Amino acid sequence: MDDERLQRYVEQLFAAEDSVLARVRARHAEQHLPPIHISPDEGKLIHVLLRAIAARTALELGALGGYSGVWIARALPADGRLVTIEKDPRHAALARQAYREAGLGRQVQLIEGACLDVLPTLAPGFDAVFVDADKEPLAQYFEWSVRLLRPGGLLLCDNAFFHGAVVDASDRSAQAEGVRAFNRLAATDPRVVAAVAPIRDGLVVGVKVG
């Protein structure tokens, strides 16, 4: 059976989008945003993982148009909080529109700016961190994520496979090297226990220990 049929089966049964999510995802294409948002089944997996740890606070690095943020914020309780960072003003405006349409405006705090400028201003104690931002500084994002997570908190990172580049020895780009560096840290740093879920482009799933 082909992978596309299985993908459709999983998305339609386990990750069916409501009208808000479908509209947000359609807007990505309409506004010519980079086609890098998570898939519905990845969004549902992240949602389930957050529910599993009863997350109340989450941090997202890279809001894009708000699609992943809706999946994340919906997993939090009514008094929960998602802090998301986005450096592109146009993307930030579209993300805010998505949160309003989803009725999540009060639960989501979007901070405009570069992640490495914003991260030092945040207080530690997040229940989960989802990393889906530029790839070159991923090793630094790993370190900040571990610092900001509470013990037992979830570390999640999109694009663990980087479209196959992680196993392409000829690809020595800064982006590919950044992904490889994050993966190595997630796999070997004693502060984290991690695995990779082979969903979409690979999702690192880790837990901060100690």
CB atoms within 10 A of CB 181: 18
195 φ, ψ (degrees, to nearest 5) = -145, 175
3-state SS assignment for residue 51: helix
Domain extents in the chain: 3-147
pLDDT score of 2: 66
Q: Look at the pTM and tell me if it is higher than 0.85.
A: yes
The CATH number fitting domain 3-147, selected from 3.40.50.150, 1.10.540.10, 3.40.50.300, 3.20.10.10: 3.40.50.150
Q: What Å distances lie between residue 175 and 14, 56, 146, CA to CA?
A: 32, 32, 21
Q: pLDDT tens digit string along 34-85?
A: 888 899 999 999 999 999 999 999 999 999 999 999 999 999 999 999 999 9
pLDDT score of 131: 98
pLDDT score of 154: 98
3-state SS assignment for residue 179: helix
Rounded CA-CA distance 140/193 in Å is 18
Is 141 within 8 Å of 172 (Cβ atoms)? no
